[in-house]
């Protein structure tokens, strides 16, 4: 998996690890070791798609037989915590997309998380690496990418990097949080020329001002550098500053924020207000705002999130429209709508349904794409350690020229969980 990473990328990882090692002595030593907690799970099953790659015209069905092992190893004391998590799978695939999928080991990932705190400070460090099928990468799964072309391409995507933060003066009316990170994306065996290797470096500083017990002001500043090996312009720098005022209230909170983002294409300004209402079984958060894009065009933005706790389940719904920078730092407009329902049919059986719609467009360009999904899931507990999961999914994608593609997915798997604690 690491063979495709150049030496300079390994150097960045080593420097990140060195940064963590230098910062470990920051807080006082732990008084005693709380002991490790080890958990792992084993699952096996099959997945079948009618059009896995969302091809138009449809290429045919694909069936995968899979076995997955995931684990989490955690060491914790009152002042520090170390957690190592990972997953690796074995797969055999046949059908239309069978030749383009990795046979044998697939989708390995590993994450190391460390946190240490003292009375008035906290340090955290995350190191991660993951490889997966590019055609399995959904828009919501990769924070650094919002490109729908990932849904219809073959090949693999390797994502790796680190995040670190240092929070100071946690108990004081004035506090500072410093952060830094790096994310690299590497594509291999893809057919689309737009899927090229990318690097993003970022640093930030958050300043907190507690004006009184219920009123807080924050100033969040950030700088990022984006490099795309497939574009002529190469490096793109972005600087952002976000001021926010938050008032805690008896049944929730209210806030107002002003944000300015300076990019290579111009400066984008956003003003928004939000209100959160918390009730015994309801939670409602709404926001309204306006954004002036880099080309001078004005957009109305907003979001609404609602959740309701039921006697045997929960109901959620959200709706949003935002204007932001995409994976390549180009301005884009994203509209999302989703609803979910989950319920406990019995003491050992649960059922859930989720519906979502996402529309993405590059502002000023005729480059629109959308994705709609409907998911049905059933989980049945067979014994104390064993469970069975059955899922149905229907997907519809549409590109800027109106070409639609559909896929139906059926998955069945058995899972066993183990837990060991000293």
The long-range contacts involving 27-32, CB below 8 angstroms and separated by at least 24 positions, are: 27/79, 27/80, 27/116, 27/117, 27/118, 27/121, 27/123, 28/79, 28/118, 30/77, 30/78, 30/79, 30/80, 31/77, 31/78, 32/77
Looking at residue 81, what is its pLDDT? 96
Looking at residue 13, what is its pLDDT? 44
Looking at residue 230, what is its pLDDT? 66
Least confident of 15-29, 105-119, 240-254, 317-331: 15-29
Q: pLDDT for 169-211, tens place per residue?
A: 999 999 999 999 999 989 887 777 777 888 999 999 999 999 9
What CA–CA distance (Å, rounded) separates 338 from 27?
Answer: 43
pLDDT band at 248 (very low <50, low <70, confident <90, very high): very high
pLDDT band at 136 (very low <50, low <70, confident <90, very high): low
Looking at residue 328, what is its pLDDT? 56
pLDDT(35) > 70:
no
Which position has the higher pLDDT, 324 or 367?
324
Using left for φ > 0, alpha for ψ between -120 and 50, and beta otherwise, residue 364 falls in left
Backbone φ, ψ for residue 151 (5° rounding): -80, -20
Looking at residue 150, what is its pLDDT? 39
CATH of the domain at 220: 2.40.170
- Residues spanned by the domain of 294: 2-421
Looking at residue 326, what is its pLDDT? 60
What would the mean pLDDT of 408-415 be, rounded to a whole number?
97
Which position has the higher pLDDT, 398 or 270?
270
pLDDT band at 160 (very low <50, low <70, confident <90, very high): very high
- The single-letter DSSP state of residue 28 is P
Specify which residues 80 forms β-bridges with: 116
pLDDT-above-90 percentage for the chain: 62
Backbone φ, ψ for residue 293 (5° rounding): -75, 175
Count of domains observed in the chain: 1
């Amino acid at each position: 998996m690491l063979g495709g990473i150049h030496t300079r990328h390994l150097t960045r990882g080593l420097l990140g690890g060195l940064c963590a090692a230098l910062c470990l002595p920051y807080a006082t030593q732990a008084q005693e070791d709380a002991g490790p907690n080890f958990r792992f799970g084993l699952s096996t099953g099959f997945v079948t798609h009618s059009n896995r790659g969302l091809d138009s015209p449809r290429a045919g069905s694909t069936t995968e037989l899979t076995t997955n092992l995931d684990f989490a190893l955690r060491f914790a004391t009152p002042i520090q915590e170390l957690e190592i998590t990972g997953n690796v799978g074995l797969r055999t695939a046949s059908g239309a997309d069978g030749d383009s999928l990795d046979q044998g080991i697939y989708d390995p990932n590993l994450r190391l998380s460390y946190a240490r705190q003292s009375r008035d400070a906290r340090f955290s460090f995350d190191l991660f690496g993951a490889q997966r099928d590019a055609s399995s990468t959904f828009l919501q799964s990769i924070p650094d990418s919002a490109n729908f072309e990932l849904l219809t391409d073959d090949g693999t995507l390797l994502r790796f990097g680190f995040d670190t933060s240092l929070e100071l003066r946690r108990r004081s009316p004035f506090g500072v949080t410093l952060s830094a990170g790096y994310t690299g994306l590497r594509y291999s065996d893809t057919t689309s020329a737009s899927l090229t290797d990318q690097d993003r470096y970022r640093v930030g500083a958050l300043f907190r001002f507690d004006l009184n017990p219920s009123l807080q002001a924050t100033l969040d500043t950030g700088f990022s550098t984006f490099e795309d090996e497939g574009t002529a312009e190469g490096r793109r720098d972005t600087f952002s500053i976000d001021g926010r005022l938050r008032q805690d209230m008896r049944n929730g909170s209210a806030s107002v924020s002003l944000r300015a983002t300076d990019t290579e294409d111009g400066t984008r300004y956003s003003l928004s207000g939000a209100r959160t209402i918390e009730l015994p079984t309801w939670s409602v958060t709404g926001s309204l705002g306006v954004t002036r894009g880099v080309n001078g065009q004005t957009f109305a933005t907003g979001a609404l999130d609602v959740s309701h706790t039921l006697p045997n389940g929960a109901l959620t719904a959200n709706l949003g429209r935002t204007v932001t920078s995409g994976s390549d730092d180009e301005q884009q407009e994203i509209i999302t709508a989703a609803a979910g329902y989950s319920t406990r049919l019995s003491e050992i059986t649960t059922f859930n349904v989720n519906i979502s719609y996402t529309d993405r467009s590059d502002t000023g360009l005729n480059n629109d794409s959308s994705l709609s999904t409907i998911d049905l899931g059933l989980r049945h507990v067979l014994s104390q350690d064993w469970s069975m999961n059955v899922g149905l999914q229907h997907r519809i994608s549409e590109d800027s020229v109106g070409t639609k593609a559909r896929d139906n997915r059926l998955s069945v798997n058995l899972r066993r969980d183990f837990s060991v604690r000293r």
